[in-house]
Amino acid sequence: MKKYKIGIVGATGAVGQEIINLLEKREFPVSEARLLASSRSAGREIQACGNLEVVSETTPDSFKGLDIAIFSAGSQNTEIFANSASKNGCVVIDNSSAFRMNENVPLVIPEINGDELESHRGIISNPNCSTAVALMSLFPLHKRFGLKRFFASTYQAVSGAGAEGVAELDEQVKEKFSGQGRGPNDDPVFQHQIAFNLIPHIDSFREDGYTKEELKMRNETRKILKNPSIQVSCTCVRVPVYRAHSISINAEFDSPVNVPDARTVLENFEGVELWDLPNALRYPMPINYSEKEVCGVGRLRLDHGFKNGLALWAVGDQLWKGAALNAVQIAEELIKRKCLKNL
């Protein structure tokens, strides 16, 4: 089996660490794992793909000889280094928002639109974490009934804000129960206390009252489904949960819907697990879907607010399907479809 040289930009971050973990877990054929990060992290040693690797500072020359580079270091670093990587013959898979709405860059969830990879020009974007989880449940229903519009309320875990978000929740919980926390943080991750609280604010507000995070759900859904007419309204909420995002979805479809057919299409869709026995207290929860490759769907029912409506609850690990796993799956699909530039 041919093996590939993989670069991981942001290797020391939360998503970068999950990418390393998943490359190993899924037995990705790696001949070299090149770990890249900022100058602050350069020199660290990390176990990756069977070897102890030394982290190097990311520079325009870091990508020479690589087949694939997975970026998880924020939009600014992507904008600085992605084109350099691509020009070196390396296919870039990017977890940031830098290129998501660029018409020349495919925005890909492999189970949904993996065919888009065949026309890539060297850079491929991963969708936002909540978009990925939502569309894993909505796409099979869209294929069957034709998605017209949906309303989504997301309940997003603190790890979506990085390791610092997890640490901040930890400290606030310790402070509350034992008085052993470090006290007020001069540079908090969240706008308000997150422990024992909900914050209806993720990313910056726009003039229309929506946040950038909320508009990602609308814009990315339209691009991935190739349907600019789909209407989307989203509210994003940060919750004191460590890992895995949950989404309440109320969707309207073009065709008449029924629950048995909806259950069937969800049960038969790769990457989705229907976990829907409310009377037996079985429904997806973040605690059940952390470090799980599939997304869970439950609370499936007719929505009485729409003529052809369904209501449902979706849960997925935002560090996996919402970021690292989807990126690794894209790399796998590139190999499967023989559309790496230097094959």
Query: What was the pLDDT predicted at 179?
Result: 74
For the chain, 343 residues long, give each residue's pLDDT as a single digit of tens: 899 999 999 999 999 999 999 999 999 999 999 999 999 999 999 999 999 999 999 999 999 999 999 999 999 999 999 999 999 999 999 999 999 999 999 999 999 999 999 999 999 999 999 999 999 999 999 999 999 999 999 999 999 999 899 999 999 999 988 876 666 677 899 999 999 999 999 999 999 999 999 999 999 999 999 999 999 999 999 999 999 999 999 999 999 999 999 999 999 999 999 999 999 999 999 999 999 999 999 999 999 999 999 999 999 999 999 999 999 999 999 999 999 874 4
Cα–Cα distance measured from residue 137 to residue 314, given in angstroms and rounded to the nearest whole number: 7
User: In 3D, which of 3, 317, 275 has the Cα closest to residue 160?
Assistant: 317
Instruction: Map out the domains of the chain with their CATH numbers.
Output: 4-126+323-336 (3.40.50.720), 131-317 (3.30.360.10)
pLDDT at 240: 98
Cβ-count burial 114-123 (b if 16+ within 10 Å, e if not): bebbeebebb
Residue 121: per-residue pLDDT: 95
CB-based contacts of 238: which residues, under 8 Å, 6+ apart?
156, 158, 160, 161, 190, 194, 198, 199, 200, 201, 202
Residue-level pLDDT at 343: 42
Residues catalogued as catalytic: 129, 245
Q: How far apart are CA 125 and CA 330, in angstroms?
A: 9
